[in-house]
Amino acid sequence: MMFSEMEKNVILRTLRRHNPFISHIIDFASQVEAYKHNLNTQTEELIAEGTLFVYSSYVRPYYGFIVLNPLNQKSLFEPVQYSCMEFFNLESHSLKYTRYDNMTFEHCLSFANKGDGNRIGHLLLHLMEHEEDDAKEKQDLAYRTQHFGIYEIDSDEEFEEDILEEVD
């Protein structure tokens, strides 16, 4: 199912009511159920059901997903962060993941269409790796700046101002 431009804009406005920093929708899958499985008590709870949207954001974390049900207030919002989660079981109709901040629960996204589950799972894994690479780049820049005094200049104007201040 493809959305028209008008439908995309309506969906984007709806998502921005929940997170105003969403820049655009990367992918989506309909008929998704999100569960939370308590590993201690072996109980399972339905968190949300509806359409899953994978999005990019203007601010960190740069990626996330939302399972949105327009008929219900129960929705799931998850940032995609390499340091906080681990995805597994990518080749089935259900995508499982754990969050490092709460290892008591295992989360599961169940897709009506196995192809959607596979596609979204690999996309989320790719986005998480991209987020990790970005974080490593920033750590490397911080290390170089701290230890070697190397810094990046955003524009020529700032550089010119710095030079003029040093001359005076």
> For residue range 25-84, what is the model confidence (pLDDT) as tens digits?
999 999 999 998 888 888 788 889 999 999 999 988 889 999 998 787 788 888 887 766
Q: Which position has the higher pLDDT, 1 or 79?
A: 79
**Residue 5 banded pLDDT, cuts 50, 70, 90:** confident
> What is the mean predicted confidence (pLDDT) over 135-141?
57
Q: How many CB atoms lie within 10 A of CB 137?
A: 10
Residue 136 has pLDDT above 60, yes or no: no
Q: What is the C-alpha separation between 57 and 22, in angstroms, rounded?
A: 4
Give the CATH number for residue 77: 2.30.29.30
Q: What is the C-alpha separation between 119 and 28, in angstroms, rounded?
A: 10
- The domain tally of the chain equals 1
**Residue 168 banded pLDDT, cuts 50, 70, 90:** very low
Predicted local confidence at residue 21, as pLDDT? 94
Predicted local confidence at residue 65, as pLDDT? 93
Residue whose C-alpha is closest to residue 1's, from 51, 57, 71:
51
Containing structural domain, residue 146: 5-167
**Residue 90 banded pLDDT, cuts 50, 70, 90:** low
Minimum mean pLDDT among 81-85, 98-102, 115-119, 137-141: which range? 137-141
Q: What is the C-alpha separation between 121 and 138, in angstroms, rounded?
A: 26
Concatenate the DSSP letters of all residues of 19-48 into one string.
-TTEEEEEEEEEEEEEEEEETTTTEEEEEE
Predicted local confidence at residue 42, as pLDDT? 80
Average pLDDT, the chain: 78
